[in-house]
Amino acid sequence: MKPWMRAFLPTFFKLIFAASMMLASLCICASAQWSFGLENYLHRKLVGPEAVRVIRAHLIESATDSGLESLVAWAKAGFPDLHDEHGIWSTEGMSVKLGVVHSIHYYFSTSPPADKSARYLAILDELRSDDYISFQLVGSAHLFVDESTLEPKVEQLLQESDAKLRAEGVRLGRTIAEHKPSLFDQYKQMLRSDNDPHVRTTILYSILGWRRKDVAYLAFERLVNDLDANVRDWGARGLRAAAEGRIFTADDLPKILPAMLETNEPFVRISIGQAAARVSTADQSLFIRTDKVTDELLHGFIGSVRMKGTRAGSALSEAQLAKEWLAWWTPLIPEYTKQAQLLH
Q: pTM to 2 decimals?
A: 0.84
Q: What is the pLDDT of residue 1?
A: 55
* Res. 110 pLDDT band, cuts 50 70 90: very high
Residue 29: which pLDDT band, with cuts at 50, 70 and 90? Answer: very low
Average predicted confidence (pLDDT) for the chain: 89
At residue 114, what are phi and psi to the nearest 5 degrees? -60, -40
Task: Indicate if the pLDDT at residue 20 is higher than 90.
Answer: no
pLDDT band, residue 340 (cuts 50/70/90): confident
pLDDT value at residue 85: 82
| Residue 153 is assigned to a structural domain of this protein | no
Give per-residue burial for 14-46: e unless 16+ CB within 10 Å, then b.
eeeeeeeeeeeeeeeeebeeebeebbebbeeee
Mean pLDDT value of segment 123-128? 97
Mean pLDDT within 18-33:
43
Tell me whether residue 110 is in a domain: yes
Of the pLDDT bands very low, low, confident and very high (cuts 50, 70, 90), residue 36 is: confident
User: Which residues 6+ apart lie within 8 Å of 199 measured at CB?
Assistant: 163, 166, 167, 170, 190
Number of structural domains (the chain) is 2
Could you tell me if residue 75 is inside a domain? yes
Q: What angle do CA 133, 139, 142 make, to 5 degrees?
A: 125
> Cα separation of 320 and 32, whole Å?
73
In a domain, 239, yes or no: no
256 closest CA partner among 244, 268, 266, 241: 268
Range of the domain at 116: 38-84+91-142
SS3 114: coil
| Residue 10 binned pLDDT confidence (cut-offs 50, 70, 90) | low
Lowest mean pLDDT segment, chosen from 52-61, 187-196, 242-251: 52-61
Q: What is the distance in angstroms between the CA of the first residue and the CA of the last residue of the chain? A: 88
The yes-or-no verdict on residue 97 having pLDDT over 70 is yes
Torsion angle, alpha carbons of 227, 230, 233, 239, to 10: -70
**Inside any domain, residue 276:** yes
pLDDT at 22: 47
Residue 148 lies in a domain: no
